[in-house]
A and B are shown apart, each in its own frame.
Chain A
Amino acid sequence: MTLTPGPLSGATSDGRGPAPVIAARRLVKTYGMGDAVVHALAGVDLTVEVGDYVAIMGSSGSGKSTLMNILGCLDVPTTGRYLLDGIDVGGLDERQLSLVRNRKIGFIFQSFNLVPRTTAVAQVELPLAYAGVKAAERRRRAMAALTMVGLADRAEHKPNELSGGQQQRVAVARALVTSPAMLLADEPTGNLDSHSTKEVLGIVDRLNASGRTVVLITHEDEVAHHAKRVIRLVDGLIVSDVRQAPVAGPPPALEAAAAGPAHGELTQGGVR
């Protein structure tokens, strides 16, 4: 199986090759003060190569979401450095941060976080609108993204008219519509049944196969089996870091289904 995610094929997990997409050093996040202080992150070092597929696991309260929010530029660490694509995020101003969130990161929340009373297609168009894409082009790309997640026929539905799985697929379409280099997902399947979980993970797998870097949080081993690398957090520290498949190859779940009929689709995960 020779599925090469473009120019990144030379990247290896030993840290050599092109600059890592995520390079976090001694990330610390504390909440509260005095006796009530909580160390949500107690000094996390994390490097993620371009094209990698990382699952973060750990018990409740171990700091997974805290880490993810910092990686997604939704929150800032108390101390520590975070380089995204080689850029020190701590040095960016408000405007630059919104650009980074818009162009580089696609974030998927456990609770979907769709804008209320807004149709699916308008929902997916939003990041493009903020990026300044023209209306016609926007509609075209939004529909392409919705088609990719299998929701073209639900484009005019509002969140309250969609099932949980469908809402999460709209959220996935919204996250990938700007073709970000990195997809971050905080328990994307936490609220979904096994069928919807399979659908959403299938989409994420194909996105990774096409070269996107994926980091997702999960509690379920089945979900973690889809990742190339599994990290475990305990009390705000990384306690294990296991590689299940090489960065350069396809995600394990797709490899298992190798030579399957879906092969042709794998390379066209993008929506541009």
Chain B
Amino acid sequence: MNPFETLRFAALGLAANKVRSGLTMLGILIGVAAVILLLAVGNGSSQAVKDSIDALGTNALTVSSGAGFGAQSTATSTKPLTVADARALADPSQAPDIKGVAPEVQTSQTALYQGTSHTVSSVIGTYPAYFEASNSKVTLGDYFSADDVLASRKVAVIGSTTAADLFGTASPIGKKIVLGGTPLTVVGELATKGSGTGFNDPDDVVIAPLPTVQNAYTGFGSLSQILVEATSADTTTQAQNEITTVLMGTHGITDPTAVDFRVGSQTTLLSTRSSTTQTFTVLLGAVAAISLLVGGIGITNIMLVTVTERTREIGIRKAIGAPKGVILSQFLAESTLLSLAGAGLGVVTALVGAHFTIAGIKPVVIPASVWGAFGIAVAIGLFFGSYPASRAASLRPIEALRHE
């Protein structure tokens, strides 16, 4: 029998049992689609992290107070970070690779505007250098100036989420909001950064001059952190060393293993985060693999049942002279058609599904996962379609005919 005829026989065989064929195909479809989609979601979230690394600027460094990572530091007492520390870092003769320094205090306050209340998750008091270092750009209005800082004016630049919550679609520029009891004039609105990393909204923010925030909310004690901008992405390591040297000087520390501050780059911070999402992707991948496995067991089961059910038929075909090869190729063609169609539809489903945002993450399909899932599903279909069939086709006709 030629291949075309074998395919025709197979198609007839499948059509003869529509429900079973349909269910098998559905099993393969779900398995394949789940693998591709879940991996796409994992990939999408790590892509988002990568994008936010770029958005935050790769030359930004943060200095925060406290002993180094875990037990590595043997510091006995911790000196808080102060504006004096920031000023020392801004000295180009000591730290030539540092372009800008922005001391930061952070708090959280409730903002009011004409009866609308909104809790701002991060209220930041800082210097204008902050905007460049943190890659924050205004779309409306302007940044506050060094002058505003010196005069500790009650002005603020707000994030897009904050603006939307308080003002809706109206322009916030020039309006007065009351933040934690202190009136502030909005001078600028930041461009949306997007909730790429998903942990907190970077657009829900109010940025005001450092002394203004210190005066109104935090007091003139220690800083939350100092944001430092290196001259370029390549000089972040030198800048990091300079920061350590300068701050060891101002804090009077001689032992480099006993520092009471830590310097982190956005990149290292985010690489921790992207390794978290890596774990997340692996986890999703494992779930996906399990669903493919379950789908595979489904196929196997149905193929086994099919062959058991059709052993008598195999006996009849052998009795009228069907060679083993022809019977085998018929079953092989049936399972090929079934798994190809199922896996193909699964790929289509996954590709369509990947156009939707799932749990706040835009899935990004990994091409290898498409081929992998498709290939594995077809291979499972082929193997478990042909193996029981070959066993049945090896029986003597009379044994197959007597099969119950």
Give A contacts to B, CB under 8 Å.
69, 72, 74-76, 94-95, 98-103, 107, 109, 113-118, 126-127, 129-132, 135, 174-175, 178
Q: Which residues of A contact B316 (CB under 8 A)?
A: 113-115
Q: Which residue of A lies closest to B399 (CB)?
A: A75
Q: How far is the CB of A95 from chain B (nearest CB, A)?
A: 6
A-B contacts, 11 listed (Cβ < 8 Å): A69-B398, A94-B323, A107-B319, A115-B316, A129-B1, A130-B320, A130-B321, A130-B322, A130-B326, A174-B320, A175-B320
Contact A74 B401 (CB under 8 A): yes
Q: Chain B interface secondary structure, helix, strand, loop or mixed? A: helix
Q: Which residue of B lies closest to A66 (CB)?
A: B398
Q: Which residues of B contact A116 (CB under 8 A)?
A: 16, 313
Q: Which residue of A lies closest to B16 (CB)?
A: A117
Partner pick for B318 among A101, A131, A175, A178, CB 8 A cutoff: A101
A72 touching B321 in the complex, CB below 8 Å, given contacts A115-B313, A129-B1, A130-B326: no
7 extra interface residue pairs, beta carbon distance < 8 Å, beyond A98-B321, A114-B316: A74-B319, A100-B321, A115-B317, A127-B320, A130-B321, A130-B326, A131-B321
Contact B398 A75 (CB under 8 A): yes
B397 interface hit (Cβ, 8 Å): yes
A98 vs B317: C-alpha distance when bound (angstroms): 10
Partner pick for A76 among B16, B315, B317, B396, CB 8 A cutoff: B396
Contact A74 B398 (CB under 8 A): yes
Q: Hey, what's the 0/1 contact readout for B259-295 against A, CB within 8 Å counting as 1?
A: 0000000000000000000000000000000000000
Q: Which residue of B lies closest to A174 (CB)?
A: B320
Contact A129 B5 (CB under 8 A): yes
A107 touching B320 in the complex, CB below 8 Å, given contacts A75-B398, A130-B1: yes
A115 vs B312: C-alpha distance when bound (angstroms): 9
A102 touching B321 in the complex, CB below 8 Å, given contacts A113-B316, A115-B313, A130-B1: yes
Counting chain A CB atoms within 10 Å of each CB, which of B1, B5, B398 scores highest? Answer: B398
Q: Which residue of A lies closest to B9 (CB)?
A: A129
Partner pick for A98 among B16, B313, B324, CB 8 A cutoff: B324
Partner pick for B322 among A72, A98, A114, CB 8 A cutoff: A98
Contact A101 B313 (CB under 8 A): no
Task: Please give me the 5 A-B residue pairs with the lowest Cβ-Cβ distance, nearest first.
Answer: A102-B321, A101-B321, A74-B397, A98-B323, A75-B398
Contact A101 B1 (CB under 8 A): no
A107 vs B316: C-alpha distance when bound (angstroms): 10
A130 vs B401: C-alpha distance when bound (angstroms): 18
Contact B323 A75 (CB under 8 A): no
Residues 325-348 (chain B) with a chain A CB within 8 angstroms: 325-326
Q: How far is the CB of A129 from chain B (nearest CB, A)?
A: 6
Q: Which residue of B lies closest to A95 (CB)?
A: B323
Contact B322 A113 (CB under 8 A): no
Contact B398 A103 (CB under 8 A): no
Q: Which residues of A contact B322 (CB under 8 A)?
A: 98, 102, 126, 130
Q: Which residues of B contact A102 (CB under 8 A)?
A: 320-322
Contact B320 A101 (CB under 8 A): yes
Q: Which residue of A lies closest to B310 (CB)?
A: A116
Contact A103 B321 (CB under 8 A): yes
A201 vs B196: C-alpha distance when bound (angstroms): 84
Q: Which residue of A lies closest to B396 (CB)?
A: A75
A126 vs B319: C-alpha distance when bound (angstroms): 11
